[in-house]
Copies of this chain bind each other. A is one copy, B any other.
């Protein structure tokens, strides 16, 4: 186990030495304003990735002494890897990757994709499997993103298609291959404590608070970015209120469940993504938030059990509801040019196929074998 891991890290360090060689003569002379335009959004997204996702994962004791630490490791790994892969496809000129804060933002988006996909398989994969999944997902994501932006020239400011839909269908592809029938009856270790609930609410709140920065980081500057921030805030807030209302109505005794708060309140941020910088009017943003929330809530209640039982898709954290259904609504709401529709389906196809292949890699005997208890503890 240790040997495998050190092999993994040795391979990784070598690869990064290559990267260094590529970057070495790099002329890093960014425009003054590029930094000041991008850095505040980068800082916010840093908080979302490391604190927000970290706290959300804190409740998972399977990944060793703290899901937060595992999130720390994976996020750093994925960002570094994405800087290189995306750099190769999108930011290389004359054989050099030109590095700026904007690359870091793009790499953190790739990292978010990986962390979202994890949601489908958390609890039935070992840490090493998850690292391999990150290793494989980043290139597939980068190629799909590069192709869509370069050849199809679609507008997807908030990343509903290229981030959320991709992450969702990749994750579903992986979980489809890793199907474990016995898990449908529930698992003894899935319960959480009062303390871990508090932590994951804090994580949700950090994601909620900085989501406008996430959705607007890559828009055009000026009024486009202003609209993106307003729409994201409005959609998040309407989806939050809808989530509380629906949670009260759908659950017995009018109790609000923790899972609803943690997941469904964020649905509006995804739903508004594909059209976040357009002149869709605040009212439309509000409606998108409500619709996304309703779809997400109903998905948790009816679609997830259906997928698990009949299609062999066990979606542990329900990413199909929070990122799949809402992503589709978002795309429908964006101006549906032929190319956008094509991008939606090709992204879903590429993601699902990549996920399925990754799933088979993860099933290779020497990856699946490590006992989780020995690895991180």
Contact status A245-B198, CB under 8 Å: no
- A21 on the interface (CB 8 Å rule)? yes
CA distance A39 to B221 in the complex (A): 13
A281 → chain B, closest Cβ, in Å? 5
Interface residues of A in 14-36 (CB under 8 A from B): 16, 19-21, 23-26, 28-30, 32, 34-35
CB-CB contacts below 8 Å: A341-372 with B: none
The yes or no answer to A316 lying at the interface (CB within 8 A) is: no
Q: Give Cα A309 to B161, complex, Å.
A: 60
Are B240's CB and A20's CB within 8 A? no
Nearest B residue to A205 via CB reads B50
CB within 8 A of A201: which of B44, B47, B69, B238? B69
> Which residue on chain B has the smallest CB distance to residue A261?
B69
* A283 to B: closest C-beta gap in Å: 3
Q: Find out whether the CB atom of B230 lies under 8 angstroms from the CB atom of A28.
A: yes
Contact with B along A270-292 (1 / 0, CB 8 A): 00000000010111001100100
Q: Quick check: B100 and A226 within 8 Å, CB to CB? A: yes
Given contact pairs A201-B69, A240-B72, A255-B377, A282 touches B225 in the complex (Cβ within 8 A): no
With A23-B282, A68-B205 known to touch, is A253 a contact of B51 (CB < 8 Å)?
Answer: no
Residue of B1, B43, B256, B290 touching A69 (CB-CB under 8 A): B256
- Indicate how many identical chains form the complex: 3
Query: Interface size for chain A: under 10, 10 to 19, 20 to 34, or 35 or more residues?
Result: 35 or more
With a cutoff of 8 Å between Cβ atoms, the chain B residues found around residue A89 in the complex are none
In the complex, whether A202 has a CB less than 8 A from a CB of chain B is yes
Bound Cα distance A77, B68 (Å): 31
Q: Is the beta-carbon distance between A5 and B254 smaller than 8 angstroms?
A: yes
Say how far A371's CB is from chain B's closest CB, in angstroms. 11
Tell yes or no: A241 within 8 A of B by CB: yes
> B66, B223, B229: which contacts A198 (Cβ < 8 A)?
B66
- Cα A32 to Cα B221 with chains together (Å): 8
* Interface pairs (9), CB distance under 8 Å: A2-B254, A5-B248, A24-B283, A30-B227, A47-B209, A72-B201, A73-B241, A101-B230, A254-B375
Closest 6 CB pairs of A and B: A20-B283, A9-B245, A2-B254, A35-B226, A30-B226, A32-B222
